[in-house]
Amino acid sequence: MTPPEAAALETSLPMPVARRRRGAPRTLHMLREVVREAVYGVSRNRLRAGLSMLGISWGIVSVVMLLAYGNGFHGALMVGFRNAFGDGVAVIFGGQTSMQAGGQRAGRRIRLKPEDVTALAELPTIKFASPEYFNRLTITYGDTSSTFGVRGVATSYGTMRSERPARGQGRFLTDDDVAERRRVVFLGYEVARKLFGAQPAVGQTVRIGSRPFEVVGVMEDKVQMSSYFQPDKYCAFIPWTTMGELQDTTYVSTIVVQTTNPLQQERALRQVREVLGKKYRFEPADERAVSIQDSVENIGMISGMTDGLKVVLTFIGVLTLAIGGVGIMNIMFVSVTERTREIGIRKALGARRREILLQFLVEAFIITFLGGAAGVAASWLMVWIFSPRPFLAELLDDLSRRTDIHLVLSLELLGICTAILMVVGIIAGLLPALRASRLDPIEALRYE
């Protein structure tokens, strides 16, 4: 190559190459050159780069929407199950022994008593404990009467099981109500609606059985996907000490406890079985002697199911995104082939392999980033348009629609998508960049 030809080729190159030969600072200047050359390479093939970005955008939309749907599905189920019991709550039922213990035969019936609540409340792993009596009784207001579930409970029961009054609708039971055996009642949402309609219920007097009770509160509309005995909104709650006026209270229906730390739920429930086993002379390992509905275990099972669903949805989304990555890789290979002679000239003028490698990697990153940003913007718009999606609200009469699937672009979700996008960008740009960096300058200059 004659000197005039070399000078002409140098002036035809992007400005950063000629500038580099004049001895600018190496490291920072090299990075600036690489970025400029990458931007120049992308802008020179706008249509091709735009189509590649479209593939990445569609892949990001798929990943984001699928993960948002999976998170919304998980959230809807958690609302229903957490409302059903509460966090770290366990409901203990008497049962029948299936093992011989302490000289006692198997098959004995175990019936729990109110004093067992005091023994369990003294355990260091138990935060709250409440007896619970349940019966179906007639509740009357004026000319309206119907049969509902009546629960005799302690004050802590409302805290454990999230029995909250609706706004401006009174209160739950208090310690004074229990200590003084007051005839007061906290009505479930549906009980109040059927007895009072649109009229205010707080302060009114209803009759449970033949006894008058003052209404002190009305529950908010509670959504439950699971319940025992009867859903809470179809029940009335009275002090457990007053329940003796309506039925025999020698034996409780259940004991409800809440552990101090849900992470130690298994240990706490093991201690519960040990205390009851010692008193009633059965093996703590005998799970039929007392049965326990554990909210932590139930929520763990639901979380496992939804986590599995999210893994499948993520896999599908990643496959879709990988297709866009393959498109970028093909575009970059074509770009390397078209610019073979340019690469040869740059190497002949002193460009290093790492500079060539970085340039094509940055080009792939630019395409991936711009496509990803467009995909996130499109995803945000779709989430805003299509959320919430119908799921359980109609089935559970949930007017708040909290049990429908709410699509949310959380930081965690965006972080996952960003990580996936970075991996796709690296893989899509690495092979073409390696090929470009390994070109022999002599062979590259001969390329036509």
The sign of the CA dihedral 254, 256, 259, 262 is: positive
**Which of the two residues, 388 and 165, has the higher pLDDT score?**
165
- Structure confidence at residue 96 as a pLDDT band (50, 70, 90): confident
- Structure confidence at residue 13 as a pLDDT band (50, 70, 90): very low
The whole-angstrom separation of Cα 280 and Cα 110 is 7
Percent residues over pLDDT 90 in the chain? 27
Contact 387, 408 (CB under 8 A): yes
What confidence score (pLDDT) does residue 69 get? Answer: 83
Average per-residue pLDDT for the chain? 79
What confidence score (pLDDT) does residue 29 get? Answer: 61
| HEC string for the chain | CCHHHHHHHHHHCCHHHHHHCCCCCHHHHHHHHHHHHHHHHHHHCHHHHHHHHHHHHHHHHHHHHHHHHHHHHHHHHHHHHHHHHCCCEEEEEECECCCCECCECCCCECCCCHHHHHHHHCCCCEEEEEEEEEEEEEEEECCEEEEEEEEEECHHHHHHCCCCEEEEEECCCCHHHHHCCCCEEEECHHHHHHHHCCCCCCCCEEEECCEEEEEEEEECCCCCCCCCCCCHHHEEEEECCCHHHCCCCCCCCEEEEEECCHHHHHHHHHHHHHHHHHHHCCCCCCCCCEEEEEHHHHHHHHHHHHHHHHHHHHHHHHHHHHHHHHHHHHHHHHHHHHCHHHHHHHHHCCCCHHHHHHHHHHHHHHHHHHHHHHHHHHHHHHHHHHCCECCCCCCCCCCCCCCCECCCCCHHHHHHHHHHHHHHHHHHHHHHHHHHHCCCHHHHHHCC
Whether the pLDDT of residue 240 is over 90: the answer is: yes
- Structure confidence at residue 396 as a pLDDT band (50, 70, 90): low
Whether the pLDDT of residue 42 is over 70: the answer is: no
**Which of the two residues, 402 and 292, has the higher pLDDT score?**
292
Whether the pLDDT of residue 374 is over 90: the answer is: no
Amino acid present at 374: A
CA 128 to chain centre: 27
In the block, residue with structure tokens 């309206």: 144
Whether the pLDDT of residue 20 is over 50: the answer is: no
The sign of the CA dihedral 27, 33, 38, 39 is: positive
In the block, residue with structure tokens 């730390």: 261
User: pLDDT by residue (tens digit) across 273-288?
Assistant: 999 988 888 888 888 8
Instruction: Return all residues near 306 (Cβ < 8 A) that are at least 6 apart.
Output: 70, 73, 74, 77
Whether the pLDDT of residue 155 is over 80: the answer is: yes
The pTM score is 0.68
Whether the pLDDT of residue 264 is over 90: the answer is: no
What confidence score (pLDDT) does residue 132 get? Answer: 95
